[in-house]
Structure 1
Amino acid sequence: MRRLLLTLPLVLAACAPETPAAPETAAGAALFATHCASCHGAEGRGDGPAAEDLGAVPADLTRIAARRDGVWPMLEVMAIVDGYARRTDARPGMPVVPEVAEGPTVEFETGNGMVQQTPANLLAIARYLETIQEPQPTRYVP
């Protein structure tokens, strides 16, 4: 029994979802502050200083997972941020920010066993948004 109690925290830690690395999260926070906070607000709640001048209310980005029953949809978030989703699901006033979709790339495991080269800045913003979810996601999908 004592051995089980000593190993249980290690087992639980191994089963927990991967937490974004601190430098990547910090980079995402900085990119968010530069490119997104004027509309979405410093905390991502859709209440930035430019929000009232837009034709549509900016999304509360702290509730992405909550609006999806606790699921964090990583690829969907990345598609919206980089502008790809605009082709099918228009978001009025949502600019495409070249700095997010360009620049150095990193390997990203898409959830189906495939690894894709992905813009590091895009991944950093998406991972940052994951950290500000209220409540935190309980499940993850690619």
Structure 2
Amino acid sequence: MTRFLICTAALLGLTACVPPPVEVGRALYGDACAVCHGPLGKGDGSLAGDLPKRPADLTGLSARNGGVFPQGAVMAVIDGYNRRDDPHGVMPEFGEVLQEGRLVPVDIGDGRQTPTPERLVALAAYVERLQE
């Protein structure tokens, strides 16, 4: 029993050192997204007025998708996957930046668990929290 308690305490100590995914996503958003999309995701960041196209208001993604957060589509935009045919797009591709770290299984709506960079998942989870 003592060994079990020690192992459990050690495991809890290790997990306490790992920031929750939403905190990782919040930090990534603050570092890479807020300057254009704004601190609350309204598309009113400090650089928004200097861009040829206004950044998207991220707070209405779910509303524009029938009340369901489009996780897969959001991750594809952040990664740059669905913008590869648009070389003149304003938003940079963050796929390479978010690749470091481990892969986690994510079902993006097709019923399959797809290995996805954990940082990309965390950032999308934070954007989901911005929904109004």
TM-score with structure 2 setting the length: 0.77
Q: Is residue 96 from structure 1 mapped to residue 93 from structure 2 by the alignment?
A: yes
Q: Which moved more, 1:81-90 or 1:55-64?
A: 81-90
Give TM-score, length-normalised by structure 1: 0.72
Which one has a larger percent strand, Structure 1 or Structure 2?
Answer: 1
Where does structure 1 lack aligned partners over 5 or more consecutive residues? 1-21, 135-142
The residue type equivalent to 1:66 in the other structure is A
Does the Cα contact within 8 Å between 2:72 and 2:109 map onto a contact in 1?
Answer: no
Identity of aligned residues (%): 45
Higher mean C-alpha displacement, 93-102 vs 77-86:
93-102
Q: Give 2:118's aligned amino acid.
A: A
Give structure 1 regions of 4+ aligned residues with deviation exceeding 4 angstroms: 88-91
Counterpart contact for 1:82–1:101, Cα < 8 Å: no
Which residue in 2 is equivalent to 1:15? none
Structure 2, unpaired ranges of 5+: 1-18
Q: Residue in 2 aligned with 1:130?
A: 128
State the shift of 1:109 in Å. Answer: 2.3
Q: Are the equivalent residues in 2 in contact too, given 1:55–1:92 (CA < 8 A)?
A: no
Q: What CA RMSD, in Å, does the superposition of the two structures yield over aligned residues?
A: 1.8
- For residues 31-74 of structure 1, what are the alpha-carbon distances to aligned partners after superposition, in whole Å with 9 as ceiling and x for unaligned? 00000000001111100001111110000111111122312111
Letter in 1 for 2:131: Q
Residue in structure 1 matched with residue 12 of structure 2 by the alignment: none
The one-letter code matched in structure 2 to 1:122 is L
Counterpart mapping for 1:50-65 below 5 A: 50-65=47-62
- Number of equivalenced pairs: 113
Deviation by residue 1:81-118 (Cα, 9 ceiling, x = unmatched): 10011034677210012222443211112333311110
- Cα distance in 1, alignment partners of residues 98 and 23 from structure 2: 15
Partner in structure 2 of residue 30 of structure 1:
27
Structure 1 pair 56/34, CA: closer, same or farther in 2 (3 Å)? same
Q: 1:91 to 1:29 in 2, by over 3 A?
A: farther
Measured in 2, the distance between the counterparts of 1:121 and 1:63 equals 22
Change (3 A) 1:37 1:91: farther
Measured at CA, do residues 71 and 110 of structure 1 come closer, stay the same or move farther in structure 2, by a change above 3 Å?
closer
